[in-house]
Each structure stands twice: as C-alpha cells, then as structure tokens.
Amino acid sequence: MYIGCVSFSQQYFPDGLVDAHSFKQAQTAARREIQAISTQFKKMGWKQSIGSSGTARAIAELIALNGFDGIPHDLPVSGAGGVITLEGLQLLKKSLIDSEYVDKSSLIGLKGDRKPVLPGGLAIMIAAFEELDINRMEVTEAALRLGVLYDLMGRSQHHDMRFVTVEQFMQRYGVDRQQAKRVSETAVHFLNQFPKPKHEDRKDNLHILSWAAKLHEIGLTISHNGYHKHSAYIASHADMPGFSRLDQARLAALLLGHTGKLGKISVGSAYIDWRMLFCLRLAHVICRRRDDEPIPDILVKEIEGGYLLKVSKAWAKSNPLTQFGLEKESADWQKIGREFQIEFL
C-alpha cells in the first residue's frame, strides 16, 4: 500500500515536531488506507504476524531497549528482542510526544538516521495494529531485497510466482479459459516458427506471450467496448506478484495492441516486441470463432519490412469471415509502414 515512513514523516511531522494531534492525523490517514483490505484480511485470519524491514526492526529494538514491554534488554531482533506489541507502541508514541521534537528524544538506541522517519513509521505501525486487530508482531531480519532474491531463485527452480499470479487473475476476472488456451497455444505456435535472434530470451518471451494471450480479455469485466484498453490498464497498474515493472509494461503493451488499430502503439516503443505482437494479433484473428475446430497449417516468416503468412486457399474459402479478418489485419499493418503479405496456397 502507498503508505511509508518517509512520506508520512514529512507530511505530518515537519521539522521533527511531534504532538498528539499530528499522530492522530497520521494514524487516521494510514488507517483509512489499510481499511480497504482490513475486512478481507480479518475474515481470512492468521496465526502469526511478522514485521519486516527497517521501521519494524527499529521499533522492536526501541521497545526492547527502553523496557516498553517489560524489562529492558538488548537481545537481537532475530531472537526474543524481535517483538512488537500494541502496548509497547503506545508507550513509544508517548515518549516521542513528551519530547516534543524527535531530535530531543532521550530514547535509548534511537539512531540518527532513523530519527527523521520514526514518527511516520510509528504512526503507520500503530494504525496497522489497530485496524487489523493485531496484538503481537514478531520481527524478521528479512526485507524486500530477500523477497526479490527468493522470487528470482524460484524462477530458476521452476517455481515462478508469475504463473500463480496469471492463474489468479484469470479466476478473478472470469476469463474464458478455453478461448484463452486456444489463443495462447496458437500465438506460441507462431512465435516458435520465427528463428531465435542472438540476444533473445526465447523462453521468457514465450511466457510473456502466453500470459498476454491468457489475460487479453480481462478488460471485458469493465466494458466490451474498448476492452483491450481496460485489459492494458489493469496489467499496467495492478499489483502482480512476481512481475517486474518491465514485465508489466511489456504485458500491457501486448494487451493494448492485440486488437484494433496499430497506430495507438508507438513505433519506437521499447516495450513492444513486434513479432510477439504479430503472433498475438494473428492468433486473435484465427481463433475469433471461439470453437474447437482444428486450426489449419499456417506458416509465418519474417520478410524485409514485415511478415509473410501462408495459408490454404481451400480453408480460406470455407472460412470467409476469417479470410476477411486476415486481409483487414494486413491492411492495418501496412498503415504503420510494415508489410503483411498473405499467400493462399
């Protein structure tokens, strides 16, 4: 959630001034943000709450060193010292308010680099405890960087979190799984026909293309009209565990461009792999009937300035609407200065 110790300290505790009113304002603002997810979390329930990163560790150390939760001690946060309680938080808050300015605080163990951001972090922590009904929190040494490393390590060991996220999004947005499978398999089949460039990560590109195919219709939950724009917006702005910002930007670009005019895609976009977009758009046209009729042998290849598609003349004749779609697709590519030639065999 977009609440952090730096921004809250600057907004509610300017110049390190700490008073009861400022704390009330900061806690209310934080609780308002947390309220959006509190019902869901409390309904699910939990057996253990864990705090990570700098603010949680600093608060746990201050509570322990100053005896706000019993006898003062200096045990490491990874051991018995790594505990935060609501009572300890309230006593820490009272100590800061009594000092009036955080720089004047006599708290044992308060480090200089932590002073400017402690009030904001403390207000957020108290808000989390109150809004989520937390009584006790254990603190871990692990932080964001370790989560990133864990995710990357998982990818190399076939535990890629991105597969889980895509599956969750398909369920959340009621995706037509049969259609998603058709488009995904067809698009991947086309990309595999292209030779692998020297610097391409083909495996990752196949994953991105497959995920784009599986998620291309998530925008239908918002509106049928211009649904591809909604799909792209969701992919750009949603929290997608496992996906980097670059992953999401590439995914969103494919979702935006999979149908409609190509002019909306910047020719110089760094997020677009034009061959992947070609494969996704072509699969979307071929699978438009949304049935399980076998797809004919369609050959694709890269030519100078664009692409060449070879398809059976007999099949095209028996599927006039798909043929019309292919010819329209060819015209769309030519409008942005790229070739799309069709050969009927």
DSSP symbol at 102: G
Same domain, yes or no: 29 and 124: yes
In a domain, 255, yes or no: yes
Distance from C-alpha of 274 to C-alpha of 282, rounded to nearest angstrom:
12
Same domain, yes or no: 54 and 170: no
Look at residue 154 in the predicted model and tell me its pLDDT. Answer: 65
Distance from C-alpha of 144 to C-alpha of 188, rounded to nearest angstrom:
33
Cβ 13 vs Cβ 44: under 8 Å:
no
Number of residues that this document lists for the chain: 345
Answer yes or no: is pLDDT of 241 > 90. Answer: no
Q: Strand, helix or coil at 219?
A: helix
Q: Strand, helix or coil at 299?
A: strand
Same domain, yes or no: 12 and 38: yes
Distance from C-alpha of 180 to C-alpha of 173, rounded to nearest angstrom:
12
Which CATH number fits the domain that encloses residue 194?
1.10.3210.10
- pLDDT class for 267, splitting at 50, 70, 90? low
Distance from C-alpha of 1 to C-alpha of 23, rounded to nearest angstrom:
19
- Six-digit token string for 179: 């259609």
Residues 206, 207, 211, 214: is their CA dihedral positive or negative? positive
Structurally, the chain folds into a number of domains equal to 2
Interval 268-327: pLDDT, tens: 677 889 999 999 999 999 999 888 888 878 999 999 999 999 999 999 899 999 999 999
Boundaries of domain holding 203: 158-294
Same domain, yes or no: 30 and 132: yes
Long-range contacts of 93-97 (CB under 8 A, 24+ apart): 93/23, 93/122, 93/126, 95/66, 95/68, 96/18, 96/122, 97/18, 97/19, 97/20, 97/23
- Six-digit token string for 305: 């300035």
List phi, psi (to 5°) of 99.
-80, -15
Answer yes or no: is pLDDT of 122 > 70. Answer: yes
In a domain, 332, yes or no: no
Bridge partner residues of 83 (DSSP): 138
Same domain, yes or no: 46 and 114: yes
Interval 317-345: pLDDT, tens: 999 999 999 999 999 999 999 999 999 98
Q: Residue type for 207, please?
A: H
Answer yes or no: is pLDDT of 196 > 90. Answer: no
CB contact set of 216 (below 8 Å; sequence gap of 6+):
180, 183, 228, 231, 254, 255, 258, 259, 280, 284
List phi, psi (to 5°) of 256.
-65, -40
